[in-house]
Amino acid sequence: MRKVGVAILGLGVVGGGTYKMLTEHREFYQKTQGIDIVIENVLERNKEKALALGVQENKIAANIAEICSNPDVDIVIEVMGGVEPAKTFVLSALNAGKSVVTSNKELFCKYSYELEKAAKKNNCGLFFEASCVGGVPVIRALLDNLQGNKVLSMMGIINGTTNYILTKMTDEGASYEEVLKEAQRLGYAEANPTADVEGYDAAYKLSILSSLAFHTKIPFSRIYREGITNITAEDIQYGKQLGYTLKLLAIGKNTDDGIEVRVHPTYIKSGHPLASVKDSYNAVYITGDCVEDVMLYGRGAGAMPTASAIVGDVIYCATHPTFRYSTFKNTEDADPSTKFIDNFKSAYYLRLNAHDKAGVLAKVSSIFSRHNISVAQMIQEDDGAADGRVPLVFITHQTKEKSILKAVEDIKETNEIADVISVIRVVS
């Protein structure tokens, strides 16, 4: 039986899961895939951790050079995360003729051009299913199944930490700060949660997924990004009253006018399939011109779900010697012919804190009208606020981003009206 030698760089949560999956399923892959996947090396600074997992001492490499020069290693699995030293290690492996399977979204998002160039030069494979949405096989779906479609749009809940936080805020009415602390205590959120809660993690993934979906490089720098740190329990509750659920959505659209790519908190109709994606689960909702709507759902992180994506790539790499790279036009930066839309169309949720007196609503309406914004839904509540102010909540029909921003500026300047508390985009 053909032997496939692998090395694992990093035995953290995902590396540990991958080690376990490959060792426990070794015979299963012999039977089902006709290959014997053997872990030839691991690279892990914490030797005790490696030994505790069952790695034999002589398999623990001292450095990347040892792995690169080991003729028994065919595929290097990079599960270290971060840009360096992962980038140097991956390039060393490719230049030594090893194929690479990586789960590193930041590395692939920022340096896929350089990595792919090295892979092609050395006739090695480069696989990255685990970089986006953990165990959910969205990359393979885009590469190997939906590629006959023009993908018109994709909307994804592609960050589990923020979905967990927003779900708790929605179901329990808790504040962002309370839920974040609980999520950190339970290990769902990192001690430094910035990458997740500010939307960087989702933007890296959207850059990769939209490049594949739209067949051209969509650099991270072109993605509009806004996190969930300013979201309040009040906004979530008002959204609920109006029939919407708040999610951190990654949105990519390919229209006749160009491509738009953005990550931000978004209200979606509570009956939309994405609204039912709760806790730390992820989902991607793709619309193709022929297939229509497809939704992929599952675990976007975690040891074994992410290991599932990695091992899938290892098997694919070992059994598909001629299909080895991404299929988008992987230029260093965006192709000059790609047109991006910044002033995109959306519906909007606006919450104002308004003076409770005659003419306020008329004034707000006149500002909306000046910017050609039409109101679809509204809540005006007399909550008996001691300062004489009341919440005023609007959902608009579709308008342009710049129009809403100008209207918000005008409302802010009109002292007698109101404070603008929140502006949140809505998928209508």
Judged by the rule CB under 6 A, the positions of this chain that interact with ligand HSE are 105, 159-161, 196, 201, 300-301
Least distance to ligand HSE, CB of residue 4, Å? 26
Closer residue to ligand HSE (CB): 129 or 201: 201
Least distance to ligand HSE, CB of residue 165, Å? 10
Question: Do 341 and 257 meet the contact criterion of CB atoms below 8 Å apart?
Answer: yes
Q: How far apart, in whole angstroms, are the C-alpha atoms of residue 306 and residue 35?
A: 21
Q: Could you give the residue numbers annotated as active site?
A: 205
Which residue type is seen at 239? Answer: G
Closer residue to ligand HSE (CB): 240 or 278: 278
Closer residue to ligand HSE (CB): 44 or 201: 201
Q: How far apart, in whole angstroms, are the C-alpha atoms of residue 42 and residue 261?
A: 38
Question: Do 298 and 136 meet the contact criterion of CB atoms below 8 Å apart?
Answer: yes
Q: How far apart, in whole angstroms, are the C-alpha atoms of residue 342 and residue 210?
A: 16
Closer residue to ligand HSE (CB): 200 or 368: 200
Least distance to ligand HSE, CB of residue 306, Å? 8
Closer residue to ligand HSE (CB): 78 or 196: 196
DSSP assignments along 381-427, one per residue: -----TTSEEEEEEEE-SEEHHHHHHHHHHHHH-TTTEEEEEEEEEE
Least distance to ligand HSE, CB of residue 256, Å? 33
Q: How far apart, in whole angstroms, are the C-alpha atoms of residue 254 and residue 345?
A: 13
DSSP E strand boundaries for 69-194: 75-78, 99-102, 126-127, 151-157
Least distance to ligand HSE, CB of residue 301, Å? 4
DSSP E strand boundaries for 333-381: 345-355, 375-380
- Which residue, 24, 14, 248, 215, is CA-closest to 134? 14
